[in-house]
Amino acid sequence: MKNQETWDEANKHSINLMIPIGIITTLLQGIFYFTLGPKYAVAIATAIMVVLLLITIPLTENHLKKNFDNEGKRK
């Protein structure tokens, strides 16, 4: 949140990670729904989604560190 450019880059990068997470979670929930039942499918898919979404935070931070200096200027 150093400046608008870093903010925009972080949002762009994180959404590029979140789209596949949503697709993966949806597919897994469908598989779990038919194999384990609806109650378990929702619980397991939600847990997987939360873990994957939490992983986006350090991945996005790492991306920003590779592309911006400490002042928020692009390298």
pLDDT in tens, 30-58: 999 999 999 898 899 899 999 999 999 99
pLDDT at 2: 83
Domain-located, residue 17: yes
One-letter identity of residue 71 = E
Domain-located, residue 18: yes
For 60, the domain range is 4-67
Domain-located, residue 75: no
Average pLDDT over residues 7-14: 96
Q: Phi, psi (5° rounding) for residue 73?
A: -95, 140
Q: Phi, psi (5° rounding) for residue 72?
A: 90, 15
Domain-located, residue 40: yes
Look up the pTM and report it.
0.81
Domain-located, residue 73: no
Domain-located, residue 31: yes
pLDDT at 47: 94
pLDDT at 1: 75
Are 3 and 72 in contact by the 8 Å Cβ rule? The answer is yes
pLDDT at 67: 96
What mean pLDDT value characterizes the chain?
93
Domain-located, residue 72: no
Domain-located, residue 55: yes
Number of folded domains in the chain? 1
